[in-house]
Chains A and B, each alone.
Chain A
Amino acid sequence: MPDFAIPEDVRPEDGYVGRRMPRIEDRSLLRGEGGFVDDVPVKKGTLHAAFVRSPHAHAEVVAIDASAALAMPGVFAVVTGADMAAETDPMIVGFENPIDYYGLAVDKVRYVGEPVVAVAATDRYRAEDAADLIRVTYNVLPAVVDPVTACEPDAPKLHPRSDSNCVSKRHFVHGEPDRAFAEAECTTELTIRYPRNSITPMETYAAVVEANSETGGFDVLSNFQGPFSVHTVMALALRLRTAALRHRSPKNSGGSFGSKLVIFPYIVVLCVLARKARRPVKWIEDRLEHLSASSVAPNRVTKVEAAYTKDGTVTGLRLTHWDDHGAYLRAPMPAPIYRMHGVSTNGYGIRHLEVTNHIVSTNKCPTGAVRGFGGPQLYFAVERMMQRIAVLTGQDPLDLIRKNLITADMFPYKAVAGSLLDSGDYHRTVDETVEQGDLAALKRKRDAARAEGRLYGIGYAACVEPSQSNMGYISTVKTGRERERAGPKDGAVASVTVAVDALGSVNVIGDSVPQGQGHQTALAQIVADQLGLTPDDVVVALDTDTAKDGWSIAAGNYSCRFAPASASAAHQAATRVREKMARIAAANLNVPADNVEFTDGNIHAANNPDNAIPFYRIGGLAHWSPSSLPDDVEPGIRETAMWNAPELTPTTAKDEINTSLAYGFGFDFCGVEVDPDTGVVTVDRYVSAHDCGTILNPGLAEGQIRGSWASAYGATFLEEFCYEEDGTFRSGTFAEYLVPTAAELPDIRLVHPTPHPSPYTRLGAKGIAEGNQYTTPVCIANAVADALGIADIRLPLRPARVLEWLQGEEPPPSAAVAPDEAAGEPARPTIDGSGEMQVPATPEQVWALLLDPERMARIVPGCERLEAAGDNSFAGTVVLGAGPVKGRFEARIDLTDLERPHRARLVGAADGPLGSSRGSGAFELAAQDGGTLVRYRYSVELSGKVAAVGGRMIRGAARQLIDRFLRALVREAGGEATDTPPRGLAGRLRRLAGGRT
């Protein structure tokens, strides 16, 4: 059994912490024996849920007809927004706000993919069949997707209880920023637009929910990741005592990166569904659901202004943020922006700061936690600004960074907005990185490349990496007066229990809810060290159960909580076990308890290893012979630590907040080359260093760095949730939302700087998992800015976008290509077209045809039924699509502004399971050559499923349909259809080639 053995080189005298010990978790995962939610057996009769989702970005829900679905065999229940509003309370957020959120749309839908109806059936296939049969009637409303536009007074409003989409605005002044700017030698500003992305874990949301008649509540199994403060949100929404909502998480979770926080609204909906269906209900979110409607990081617009001296010392900073949270706020939103508030000045000694936070609602998927949690957005603005100031002051950006970083003698350093930076030597980390990463060689490479005329740039980025969030920081969104009313919030309690049984086996449970980070392994290392055992003597179970475990509101896996908090709690619990066992052993060894050591499964006198008693014997005594224990020692051995750090204090009256306990430091530099022919940016070299204090297990820590690098690379180059201006969602599949693969991800050089352990955590460990989310996007952006000599860098760095930056005017076509043939559609949400066509009938005949439903039924592609629906209106059923992709749509066409037989305008709508389409057009009829010249133009928009998954082909497919319609029109009028566009194009190509083929 080689995988169970601990390699020889991880048996050092000085313990297991810090050693590269292979993971315990692998033993089951590599055998296909993991225990993810979907692997856990469920009761026979458990139903499966599916959701009807909105195809519209913004619309009133006029009517819902689920009768056909409910009549289907195997369908047990449906739940609508009206049910949710009747049976639950809106899910609360950490401050007063005008948003009522129930998990299902009530009265209005506010983003594409929003759940509207939940249905439970015997299996997922039937649940989807039923969802297809549920008819929802919408009244489409104008949408808004840009957070700055959304704050304008005439923007479409999302929430009726507010007259603005800016649901919270707070203004912070730390130091004297006005004076700093007034007295500054120089000032400059930059506007950043940080895109919307997520890390899309491989396992999607998963939950099994069952009503519990004993408690009147529910038993839930899900891959919810915490923080468990949100357990309260669910219980309150369900109008339950919190203890009546029992939540369990299984032993494995397939990644989360923050995303599995916001499964909680679904859990609330599923509880209502299970109650109605009177059966357990299981839901495994599918990938389309996940991409369109689970959770994303807020995109953000930031105007950053800096005041600085001529030599580049930054004296003041102003940050104005428009943080785009999409359609709803869900707890703990808008936390990301406040989590980073204390470190708004990064690691720089800037003492004057002004911050304005607009928390904005738009018609997009609501936000949640994503690895980095507000950091990528903030540091992109700050570190881009540092690069700009270096350019403007004519110095190397690295010199500027060094000039402004706080120095080693300043720790612990209270940043102006309140973060208490615990330890570090940022200059030393930078120096070590420059040295080990060989910056000098990279500079030579850049110079050589530039000498050849190549576009090569170097970028730098520094970041303070916060870990273990203060549960009180979100209160910073409230005013001081509101905070006073609500009572103090602070701290971050972590719980670990260590137990020793009657044969000396050690069991550990904890509240860290891992999603693959190797917590079992790290906790086994920590506890083994305290008890003189090997990690294999320690069994760590990290599945959780709110009904039985020690836990508190901070429980869960987020914001780099494990290394500072859970590791400290484990250390504390193990220390208590050790102290207790030492007292029992001391009585047996006849030595003082503080003179006892634990080594190799024995407890012995420190100065006489032969005076020893086996570890298991002490376990046995504690359980089998309480009478033999010292008088003040309780029987049994089970210690639960509820660990907290006193440094996590509440927000002060001056809005200063120490948002996190331990702050690591990261510093990266990179070299990139831009290909002027394709716009491709190649990362030639990337060097990354993170001082995260004590490293518990280098194998795990490096995995976190490399994993963070990969997702940050994705955010920099590939990953974005794209919305059209009208709210149409475009990134619905893994072929649209692009995740880096092994083939394109460059390797990075990891530098190991001298660690500076945290004085505030028990092992000196700080978080490590988020650093590259902060540094990588802006480090690469700074390198591109250096390569191209431009200021405005926007992510992701799609080659098409980079090409625009580096190319001037595009060469026009020659006269051989007629201007109208030089197509190329601009980026618009609509599919627009116009043209003219000769029809062999008089205008009067064509007019009559266009207003005759029977004849139109023969012309409209895929028309199954069309009838008059009032004056100049038609309604019917059409089957539309391209090739095999087709769906049945309910369509309606209204003709207006009729001038018989000359011109008319028309508006139409079509709705079906594939999505929803709105269009308008106009035509003019003119007699010509014995027939009629029809001039037409149209504008069509598509939203919903087909727009989300088929964006690459949708324009062409729509044009194809319109072409079919026009050809049929000619045929119906008695003519011969002309060439299809592809053949028209072929003719054009022949002309280009000189007509010789």
Chain B
Amino acid sequence: MKPAPFDYVRPESIEEAVAALAEHGDEARVLAGGQSLMPMLNMRLVRPEILVDINRIPGLAGIDDEGDCIAIGGAVTQGDLADWPDLAATLPVVADALPHVGHFQTRNRGTVCGSLCHADPSSELPLCLALLDGGIELRSARGVRTVSADEFQQGILTTAKAPDELAVRARLPKARQGERFAFREFHLRHGDFAIVAVAARRAGDAVSLAVGGVADRPEVCHWESLPDDAVDDALNDLAWALGGSDDIHATARHRRQLVRHLGRQAIAATAGNRAAA
């Protein structure tokens, strides 16, 4: 379990980083926290020609309140975000989800943007990005573009990020007055990838529910209104529509049951507690 050989560069600016990516394209991989990439390198599932280590780029380290959004730099770790004092007030669902992202030692290095770019369908941060309909700012030598969550997350380990692009920040819309959020997850062991994870938002009558771990990416269902007596039927249909398959940890049927169960819990929780500030 040792990586195949690769070259290594450690750019000290975003410009250097995107130049390196422009030069090497699909042969390069960005090394941020490495908590997903390094296991794949060690198993030789990924064999890049060159690694572009972005850990020492000062411009990627910040968490900024931009008014409507919180902008999280490309090298900000999950631990940095969890420790950020304004998190619970501005991104309550992220605050609830973060303790489920691996373990504190992996959060010490794993980055928020890295997790989004890895696009594991069971992972918590992509689920939050989907629910909040956040965006990813992608930089390349060709320019800058921002891609919405729905466009960015394409499938298993697959995103809209082109090989020459660097995710320089993720923008997550702040909780607005009157919005309520809830996060629920089912796993077999603490810190594992979720079997099913759900995140709910209620704004007035409207309810959104994001579901991870079932389809090939987190999926969001919006209801303009969802009366209590309609929740079970709506969730049952959602559970069936999402598909999902058997693996060694859970069956498709179990996943459907968890969508129904966790969905009901999360939607109920948004009706009761945790109003955004």
| Contact in complex: A992, B238 (CB < 8 Å) | yes
Q: Within 8 Å of chain A (Cβ to Cβ): is B97?
A: no
Q: Within 8 Å of chain B (Cβ to Cβ): is A86?
A: no
| Contact in complex: A959, B243 (CB < 8 Å) | no
Contact for A883 among B157, B234, B245, CB less than 8 A:
B157
- Beyond A800-B254, A945-B43, A959-B216, 12 extra complex contacts between A and B, CB < 8 Å: A125-B5, A735-B193, A744-B188, A800-B249, A800-B251, A812-B240, A823-B242, A825-B245, A985-B242, A992-B221, A994-B224, A997-B223
The residues of B that contact A720 with a CB separation of less than 8 Å are 248
Within 8 A of A (CB), among B213-259: 215-217, 219-224, 233-234, 236-254, 256-258
5 A-B pairs, CB-CB below 8 angstroms?
Answer: A288-B1, A735-B193, A821-B240, A821-B243, A825-B243
Within 8 A of A (CB), among B118-147: 118-122
Contact for A803 among B221, B242, B257, CB less than 8 A:
B257
Q: Within 8 Å of chain A (Cβ to Cβ): is B274?
A: no
The residues of B that contact A881 with a CB separation of less than 8 Å are 45
Q: Within 8 Å of chain B (Cβ to Cβ): is A506?
A: no
Q: Within 8 Å of chain B (Cβ to Cβ): is A30?
A: no
| Contact in complex: B44, A827 (CB < 8 Å) | no
Could you tell me the distance in whole angstroms from the C-beta of A458 to the nearest C-beta in chain B?
Answer: 24
Interface string of A748-788 (1 = CB under 8 A from B): 00000000000000000000000000000000000000000
The residues of A that contact B191 with a CB separation of less than 8 Å are 741, 743
| Contact in complex: A952, B155 (CB < 8 Å) | no
Q: Within 8 Å of chain B (Cβ to Cβ): is A956?
A: yes
Bound CA span A802–B189, Å: 17
| Contact in complex: A825, B246 (CB < 8 Å) | yes
The residues of B that contact A814 with a CB separation of less than 8 Å are 233, 236-237
Q: Within 8 Å of chain B (Cβ to Cβ): is A730?
A: yes
| Contact in complex: A996, B224 (CB < 8 Å) | yes
Contact for B192 among A286, A735, A800, CB less than 8 A:
A735
Given contacts A884-B46, A885-B157, contact A736 B248 (CB under 8 A): yes
| Contact in complex: A980, B155 (CB < 8 Å) | yes
Bound CA span A996–B234, Å: 14
Q: Within 8 Å of chain A (Cβ to Cβ): is B108?
A: no
Given contacts A824-B244, A960-B216, contact A288 B43 (CB under 8 A): yes
| Contact in complex: A738, B189 (CB < 8 Å) | yes
| Contact in complex: A885, B46 (CB < 8 Å) | yes
The residues of B that contact A988 with a CB separation of less than 8 Å are 241
The residues of A that contact B192 with a CB separation of less than 8 Å are 735, 738
Nearest chain A residue, comparing its CB with the CB of B46: A884
| Contact in complex: A129, B251 (CB < 8 Å) | no
Q: Within 8 Å of chain B (Cβ to Cβ): is A850?
A: no
Contact for A813 among B221, B236, B245, CB less than 8 A:
B236
Q: Within 8 Å of chain B (Cβ to Cβ): is A993?
A: yes
Residue positions of B touching A, CB distance < 8 A:
1-5, 29, 37, 40, 43-48, 118-122, 150, 154-159, 186, 188-193, 215-217, 219-224, 233-234, 236-254, 256-258, 261
Q: Within 8 Å of chain B (Cβ to Cβ): is A425?
A: no
Given contacts A678-B186, A811-B236, A946-B45, contact A884 B157 (CB under 8 A): yes
| Contact in complex: B157, A953 (CB < 8 Å) | yes
Q: Within 8 Å of chain B (Cβ to Cβ): is A718?
A: yes
Q: Within 8 Å of chain B (Cβ to Cβ): is A986?
A: yes
> Can you list the 5 inter-chain pairs with the closest CB atoms, starting with the nearest?
A883-B157, A823-B243, A800-B254, A813-B240, A824-B252
| Contact in complex: B37, A884 (CB < 8 Å) | yes
The residues of B that contact A579 with a CB separation of less than 8 Å are none
Interface string of A122-146 (1 = CB under 8 A from B): 0011001100100000000000000
Interface string of A958-997 (1 = CB under 8 A from B): 0110000000000000000000111001101100111011
Nearest chain B residue, comparing its CB with the CB of A914: B45
The residues of B that contact A826 with a CB separation of less than 8 Å are 246, 252
The residues of A that contact B118 with a CB separation of less than 8 Å are 883
Bound CA span A741–B118, Å: 26
| Contact in complex: B119, A994 (CB < 8 Å) | no
Q: Within 8 Å of chain B (Cβ to Cβ): is A685?
A: no
| Contact in complex: A679, B253 (CB < 8 Å) | no
